[in-house]
Amino acid sequence: CRELQEEIEQTYPTDVSTLIIDQRNGIKLTRQPSINYQKLLATIFSSELGYELLQQLLLKRSISTVAFCNSHYISESQLRRKIKEINSSLKKHKLRITLSNEITISGEEYKLRSFFFVFLFTIHRQFSFISWIENKAAINQLSEQIVADLSLESNSQTIEILSIWVFIINSAVKYGWPLTYDDSEKQILESFVLPKRPPLLTDWKNEDWQLLVIAIYSSDIIDFHLQVNLSSLEK
């Protein structure tokens, strides 16, 4: 409770929320009605070992085992147990973490990017709440331009969600991880009438743009419609 009290004090002003601990009267949490605890939960979750491991792997795909153990003051056996625990959850996504001299996460590229989005959105909900991301202003600006190009409703929620995707794709482009699809996946993509990639996305390939557009369409979070040729899927 003392640790939670400290986290609340560091995250919110005392007039917004506070945890009162009284040995005689007990424990009481006070907050303003307009405040939710998403930011606090994100802070707590992001300090957990599993978060640190997934965050680095989804960003870099492979990291040094020795460096990770040393920086987090854990043994390789502790790391192995944590990876086994995480892998049990990743199995349904057809992703896997392996451990040797390097810790590596593997799986199809579009699944890795999609899981990265789910991971960040579930914990943080808002792009602005992800403290470790650098150059946020540039990502937000790019997202605003994409919103305009796709004629999406321009509001803070749309920008916050889209910025997570833009960050993930930008990172993948930076590291040079290509998107590939099998024949059935290509057929699904070809059934959509997709808008052309904007000229401003000079570093992106068409596949990167297609993934973003499909992700927006299928998320049911941002109001966006695409024309779908269902007859092409029946062949």
What is the structure's pLDDT at 25?
A: 85
Those residues of the chain that have pLDDT short of 70 are 230-235
What is the structure's pLDDT at 74?
A: 95
Rg, C-alpha atoms of the chain = 21
Unique residue bearing structure tokens 């300090």? 47
User: What's the CA gap between 141 and 121, in Å, rounded?
Assistant: 19
Token pair recorded at residue 7: 């986290």
User: What's the CA gap between 163 and 145, in Å, rounded?
Assistant: 11
User: Parallel, antiparallel, or unpaired: how do β-strands 192-193 and 62-64 relate?
Assistant: unpaired
What is the structure's pLDDT at 230?
A: 66
pTM comes to 0.85
Q: According to DSSP H, which parts of 108-205 are helical? A: 109-124, 136-149, 156-175, 183-190
What number of other Cβ atoms are within 10 A of residue 123's Cβ? 20
Amino acid at 201: L
Q: What is the DSSP string of 14-38?
A: TTTEEEEEETTTEEEEEE-TT--SH
C-alpha dihedral sign at 207, 212, 218, 224: negative
